[in-house]
Structure 1
């Protein structure tokens, strides 16, 4: 069955990179690309009709420019407008069209995680029925190095499976942040050090076993690197992204408030790379 990608276009300059990535993904995967723009439903009917024609014309013009800039053929496409609340319409269209992925531009308020929670992007991430791509980098950049934080949860397992399925030729780095109690108080004790080393070895063995089980379920297995780093998960991840940013970060999103939500909001406010967020199912 042909894949369907849904791109929500807001006609901004910042949104152009996401539009280009959506077109490129559709071409590379032989997918259909549905491009929508959400209009304000409270505009007068005559204004709404005229605006719809202008918006569709602009989306087609941007598409022509993108195809010329990246030398891309035109994928099978549908370009249209809908009226309503932006995030609600994107979610509704994703369900009705049974899309395989939603593609959005990055959050514009860089460095301000407290402003992310109420944005269209954050709301779509909490309710999307499929993986969501937040794109901030040029589509000319290859997604060769992909970073996947893992914590042995159902969410991270599903995220790893989605990543392996969608990008079988990429180089994957699996990052697990570990924090063993007593390090500050007993770090210099030889007995504690031996116990800590055994725990780290056990974690690596567990991670390797979990990964091998997933590998057995898939035909194409890319190059993998396992990285264990001590510390708070958010701090470890942000340090890694600043020091060695990947081309794409594949992250699980539980769609709920709490620590995972804080991590997601920090990443969206400080995007060092493109981000794919996946739900637990």
Structure 2
């Protein structure tokens, strides 16, 4: 059965990078791409028919332009316009098609974390039944370096499995931010330094063992790196992104709503690369 990806477009210029990445992902993973635009249902009916035709023509033209601009092959595509609440219709489409991915262009509230909560963008993230790809960069090439922040065994198991399934040839860095009690008060003490070293080594062994269990039945040579750094998740992940410039960050969560974590909100408000948000179960 052919998988389906859903790309939701608002027809803005900000959506072009998302449109191009959706095409690249769908073609590479042999998926059908359903391109969806949601119309305002409160517009006069005499305008809706004309507007629907104009929107479909605009999407088809944009599709051709983007394929030519980025030299992209064409997956099977379906263009559809519907009326309703944008986040409801996008999520409904994903459910109806049993979509494996929803692809969105980056939102317009960059640098304004406090304004994200009630946006259509965040409502889609909260309700999505599948991973959501959020595109920030122009997709000139496939993703080659994927960063996976690790906060629990459950999230690393699901998110790493998803990354290996979809991007088996990419380099994957698992990044865990650790903190230990007493660091401020006792960090300069020799006995504390020894204890800290032992605890970090124990944590690394536990995470390494979990990763080995996940990849034991995978074929081929996998490029997976496990990195542990001291600090809060937001500080560690942002620092790593600025220093190593991964192509995409895959974020898992222990439950819903996954968009509420401080790390996720930080990455959404200050995007330095593409993001994929996944539920842990």
TM-score between the two structures when normalised by the length of structure 1: 0.96
Residues 148 and 251 in structure 1, CA contact (< 8 A), matched pair in contact too: yes
Any unmatched runs of 5+ in structure 2?
Answer: none
C-alpha contact (below 8 Å) 1:30/1:75 kept by paired residues: yes
Once the 2 structures are TM-superposed, how far is the Cα of residue 2 of structure 1 from its aligned partner?
1.4
* RMSD of Structure 2 on Structure 1 (CA): 1.4
Closer, same or farther: CA 36–279 of 1 in aligned 2, 3 Å: same
Alignment of 1:154-233 (within 5 A): 154-220=154-220, 222-233=222-233
In the alignment, the residues of structure 1 paired with residue 89 and residue 191 of structure 2 have an alpha-carbon distance, to the nearest angstrom, of: 58
1:221, distance to aligned residue in structure 2 (A): 5.2
Alignment TM-score, normalising by the size of structure 2? 0.96
In the other structure, the counterpart of 1:98 is 98
2:257 maps to which residue?
256
Q: CA deviation at 1:257?
A: 7.3
Look up the match of 2:145: 145
2:110 is paired with a residue of what secondary structure? coil
Contact 1:17–1:137, Cα closer than 8 Å, also in 2: yes
Shift >4 Å, 4+ stretches:
none
Aligned CA distance change for structure 1 residues 274 and 129 (closer, same or farther; 3 Å): same
Contact 1:113 1:265 in 2 (8 A): yes
Shift of 1:112: 0.8
- Residue by residue over 1:215-257, the C-alpha shift from the partner in whole angstroms, topping out at 9 and shown as x without a partner, is 0243355201111001111121122222222101000143327
Structure 1 contact 87–120 (Cα < 8 Å) conserved: yes
Q: Report the equivalent of 1:40.
A: 40
C-alpha change, 1:122 and 1:153, in structure 2 (3 Å) is farther
Q: Which runs of 5+ in 1 are unaligned?
A: none
1:264 Cα shift?
Answer: 1.4
Aligned residues: 280
1:14-93 map, 5 Å: 14-93=14-93
SS of equivalent to 1:42: coil
**Following the alignment from structure 1 to structure 2, what is the Cα–Cα distance between the partners of residues 257 and 58?**
34
Q: Report the Cα offset of residue 155 of structure 1.
A: 2.8
